[in-house]
Amino acid sequence: MFTLLKRIIGLGWQNLVRDGGIAVANIFIMMIPIFLVSSIFLLKDVSRYMIDALQAKADISVYFNENTNEDDILRIKQAIVAIPQVNEVKYVSKDQALADFTERHKDSATLMESLQQVNGNPFLASLNITAKGMSEYDQVAQFLNQDQYKAMVNKVNYNEKKSVIEKIFFLTAGASKAGLILAGILGFVSILVTFNTIRMAIINRKKEIAIQRLVGASRVFIRGQFFVEGLIFGLLAAIFCFLITAGVCWYANSSLEALMPGLSLWNNLMASVGTMFLLQFATGTVLGIISSMIATTRYLKA
């Protein structure tokens, strides 16, 4: 059994070397979906960082009447925080709102002059609310629409921002799915390319296969050599892809850290280096095995 397996592996490798440039092209094409799947895994923290930053812009504000007591506002804040899937509720006092406005527009002489003419603080205390989904914003709006809060609440800008919030959540949901869909498409293309390469190898070796049959080669032996060839395609693609991934992470690490403080591609890779290689190896070998099985089943009538 061991001798048979050794001969199958040796012949599979010999066939791959014989294919030359076609085999090399097939390996590099197979690297595309492997690299994409690896990127999705490695950059999940980056994606989460960007999605969180975008979703942070999807917020609503509740403005309270001038005579509303701060303790009442803080009680409302605690009630909103208790709503499931609400990320954050930030209280902004009248004084803080004025300070924020002054800091933000300190270079605008017109606005600063207008503010001085008001002769007082024109801003209202507010709560800025961020949540994980549209349903939570609906729930918050309904909560604030209760009769017991109508005397306190001056305005809720949910209806004004609803369309913008919907677009933000649509984009973030689409971004999470797009990478997986693209990986699936490229994986399918790789299977077709590998399938075609092995199909051509079978066709080109018809005489050789016929001779193997005449001398008593078993069905397992004949199919096994092409199965090993597809497996090697995937393994080599995974190894090359891992080396390229490591190089990209090392090179891009400093630039990414400057843009996104606290994130490190290189540290993420080192922390999950075993999982990363296993993922790449599994993706490559599965692509190679599936394409080999399809090709040999269809074109080898042994």
At 81, which CATH number?
3.30.70
What is the four-CA torsion angle of 168, 171, 177, 180, rounded to 10 degrees?
-130
Q: What is the token pair recorded at 67?
A: 């005579």
Residue 243's Cβ-count burial label (10 Å; 0-12, 13-18, 19+) is exposed
Domain range holding 249? Answer: 2-51+170-299
pLDDT digits (tens, 9 = 90+) for 90-122: 999 888 888 888 888 778 777 777 777 777 788
Q: Point out the residues of the chain with pLDDT beneath 50.
A: 302
Residue 155, classed as helix, strand or coil, is: strand
Domain count, the chain: 2
Domain end residue (candidates: 119, 151, 183): 151
pTM of this structure:
0.53
Report pLDDT for 302.
46
Are residues 232 and 123 both part of a single domain?
A: no
Give per-residue pLDDT as tens, 161-193. Answer: 777 767 766 766 666 677 667 667 766 776 676
Query: Would you call 124 helix, strand, or coil by DSSP?
Result: coil
pLDDT tens digits, one per residue of 221-233 = 667 777 777 777 7
Q: What is the pLDDT of residue 57?
A: 65
In this structure, the answer to whether residues 188 and 283 fall within a common structural domain is yes
61 in any annotated domain: no
Is position 6 within any domain? yes
Q: What is the pLDDT of residue 58?
A: 66
Do 189 and 284 have their domain in common?
yes
